[in-house]
Amino acid sequence: MKRITVAKTAGFCFGVRRAVDAAFAEARSGTPACTLGELIHNPRIVEELARAGVRVIESPAENTDGRTVIIRSHGVPPQVYEELAASGARVVDATCPYVEKLHRLAAEHSGESVTLIAGDPSHPEVVGIAGFCEGETHIFRSAEELDKIIPILDNGGNRPVTLLAQTTFSVPEWEKCVEKLKKVCTKLRIFDTICIATEKRQSEARELAAQSDAMIVIGGRKSSNTAKLAQLCGAYCDTFLIESAAELHDLDLGGYTRIGVTAGASTPACIIKEVHKTMSEILKDQDELSFEEMLNESFKTIDNREKVTATVTGIAPNEISVDIGTKHAGYVPLSELTDDPNAKPEELVKVGDQMDLLVVRVNDVEGTVMLSKKRLDAIAGFEKVMNAVDTEEILEGTVVEVIKGGVLALTNGVKVFIPASQATLSRNDSLEDLLKKKVQFKILEVNRQRKRAVGSIRAVLREQRRELEEKFWQEVEVGKHYTGVVKSLTSYGAFVNLGGVDGMVHISELSWNRIKHPSEIVSVGDTVEVYIKDIDAENKKISLGYKKAEDNPWVIMQRDYAVGTVCTVKVVSMTPFGAFAQIIPGVDGLIHISQISNERINKPSDVLSIGQEVEVKITELDSEKKRVSLSIRALLADKAPAPAEEEAPAAEESAVVYEAGPDGAQGEIPEDSAE
């Protein structure tokens, strides 16, 4: 009996499917579009897109009719992006996220070292990667070609070297190259950028080839990853590379009992199915399983779990009935439909709905099969989390537990461990504050075997803060007002977070009155209104103002007080030449010794005491010089009856010269103090 086995990973990878979906979406939209080079290395897809009106151009200059330009999954060099921007064309960037990661690595690290790229120098993906490299760059196809480059790495291997790989590079060949470079380079930075899907596909192809008499590898002949699959399989058994099912008629498969089938990342499922069907007809083995049965059997996972598309046929209080297209009666218990114990099946689905489910248990005796939506969602969630380490996708989840050393966040049904050092921006922040809160994080590392993932909230917060900083520095200007949060206090001022950028309010800018510490005015966590006083763009420092002009005590004095005004003041300090008294907070006036009493006194304390409240008359007010003269004697003179004759004063009193600032500091000693 002949047996045909299809590799589980055969067919479209994530990046290719993403690009194909984007291209056909543009075709369906009716907007004229074109692809910059063949979208993927598969003739049928390219032909189908052409029939849908999406033609191929080789350079931006060929887009003469203003079509939307779709950048293929292989990516392009920076200069192509510049040409597209200059042309004004609308761009749909379908570059594979794994390739985009390579572009970032090349741009970040190539300038500081020699860059080595393992890959085909003529392949569009490698051309794109090389375009992002600065400085000395070398490309090699194999470990043998690498041997010719190694002598160029002079100084006894002490030059910094960055090693990258084309996403579809051969894994065994990559391992050889890494080992060679480790022996000669003391400053080697290695980035294993071979796509996970490529590694898995190559690994599975080797295993399947080792168990087969022949291998059929399906894919475009221009496809790099398809060619490498054929090369790998050829080391174990007879291997045939075909682009379509029609090519099977030229092969003699009669002498093979076990035939394995795999396909490149750019091969659609429809071609794989056509190959199966044609192989079945050619082999004419009636005892063999039918094509559909054979295909279903070959795609089953190792633990016999299978993903199926089912149609809802009935709804009961504790389960739903589904049709999975077989003789079995399918059902999904409520506990396998949702985690919500209060949910009702009729609120979740209705008869006729189609849904993807996972086979949990088959009972051939009773003719039933139990299925689960919840477990399938968990598998999809697991894959999403595992892949996020390479795509650098930001995930969202809820912190469900605070444990020793960090927190656990639940996302897509998977618990992700976030270490304390990666949970907050500051080590002083409490982990307990995160409990039951929604958070965003990136995946730093994964262990598929142990189904564990480590994430970082801090990485997302730092990116968000960097974006806010860039926006802030683009818009900031002196005088602009902001609402901020007091972040910390020092003896000399308060630091305020303005949304990504911290500014400082000096202690002298917190209040018009003299204060000893910022905590007298604000507390950490307070929301405050501030304005930009000064900007040091070079050192990225911001000086902030907090006190308002209308609260300036001298503005109040000028508005509410005038020469001749009688008011009650409080004595705050004594000097040999007089007493200083507070009129309003922030403004003190001087009662000269000669203005304290009608009678001659030796010192102010003979009549006044600190803390005493007295009634005075304002005899001089100079807001510009911040000086106020007060007099008790003037009020006594107003109240006393006029004498018949007054003696002329022996000498004219000298003018009072002093300054009382808003901080309460008394000014200078009078130039000629009385007595």
Cα torsion at 281, 287, 292, 297 (round to 10°)? -130
List the alpha helices (DSSP H) in 255-299. Answer: 269-283, 291-298
Looking at every residue in the chain, the average pLDDT score rounds to 84
Q: What is the CATH number of domain 1-96+198-299?
A: 3.40.1010.20
pLDDT at 71 over 90: yes
Give the residue range(s) of CATH 3.40.1010.20 domains in the chain. 1-96+198-299, 97-194
508 is in an annotated binding site: no
Q: What is the DSSP letter of 155?
A: H
What is the per-residue pLDDT for 581? 94
Residue 64 in marked binding region? no
pLDDT at 620: 92
Euclidean distance between CA atoms 467 and 85, whole angstroms: 23
User: What is the arithmetic mean of pLDDT over 100-110?
Assistant: 89
pLDDT at 569: 93
**For residue 295, pLDDT beyond 60:** no
- Say how far residue 374 (Cα) sits from the centre of its chain: 29
DSSP string, 355-422: EEEEEEEEETTTTEEEEESHHHHHHHHHHHHHHHHHH-PPEEEEEEEEETTEEEEEETTEEEEEEHHH
pLDDT at 641: 60
| 290 annotated as a binding-site residue | no
Instruction: Grade residue 1 by pLDDT with cuts at 50, 70 and 90.
Output: low
On the question of pLDDT at 638 being above 80, the answer is no
Confidence (pLDDT) at 300: 38
pLDDT for 365 equals 66
Confidence of residue 307 (pLDDT cuts 50, 70, 90): confident
- Averaging pLDDT over each range in 269-273, 296-300, 597-601, which range is the top one? 597-601
Confidence band of 299 (pLDDT split at 50, 70, 90): very low
CATH number for the domain running over 97-194: 3.40.1010.20
506 is in an annotated binding site: no
Q: pLDDT tens-digit profile of 200-211?
A: 888 888 889 998
What confidence score (pLDDT) does residue 668 get? 44
Name the pairing type of β-strands 566-575 and 578-584. antiparallel
- pLDDT confidence band for 302 (50 / 70 / 90): very low
Residues carrying an active site annotation: 125
CATH 2.40.50.140 segments of the chain: 307-372, 378-462, 476-547, 553-639
pLDDT for residue 590: 93
State what percent of residues in the chain have pLDDT above 90. 33
Give 148-189 pLDDT, tens digit per residue. 988 887 654 577 899 999 988 888 899 999 999 988 888 889
Strand order in the sheet with 137-140: 137-140, 114-118, 161-165, 188-190
Annotated ligand binding at 195? The verdict is yes
CB-based contacts of 667, cutoff 8 Å, min separation 6 = 590, 627, 657, 658, 659, 660, 661
On whether 223 is known to bind a ligand per the annotation, the reply is yes
216 band by pLDDT with thresholds 50, 70 and 90? very high
pLDDT of residue 16: 87
Would you state the pLDDT for residue 361? 85
pLDDT at 154: 61
Q: If you count DSSP H runs as helices and E runs as strands, how many of each does the chain have, helices first?
A: 19, 32
Backbone angles phi, psi at 15, to 5 degrees: -65, -40
* pLDDT of res. 671: 42
Average pLDDT over residues 2-9: 81
Q: Does domain 553-639 have CATH number 2.120.10.30?
A: no
Q: Has 266 been labeled as part of a binding site?
A: yes
Q: Which CATH class is domain 307-372?
A: mainly beta
pLDDT of residue 376: 85
- Fold for the domain defined by 476-547: OB fold (Dihydrolipoamide Acetyltransferase, E2P) (2.40.50)
> What does the pLDDT look like over 349-372, one tens digit per residue?
999 999 989 888 887 667 788 899
378-462: which CATH number, 2.40.50.140, 3.10.180.10, 3.40.309.10, 3.60.15.10? 2.40.50.140
> Which residue would you say has higher pLDDT here, 252 or 459?
459
Question: What is the value of pTM for the model shown?
Answer: 0.42
Tens digit of pLDDT for each residue in 395-418? 999 999 999 889 999 888 788 999
Tell me, what's the pLDDT at 389? 84
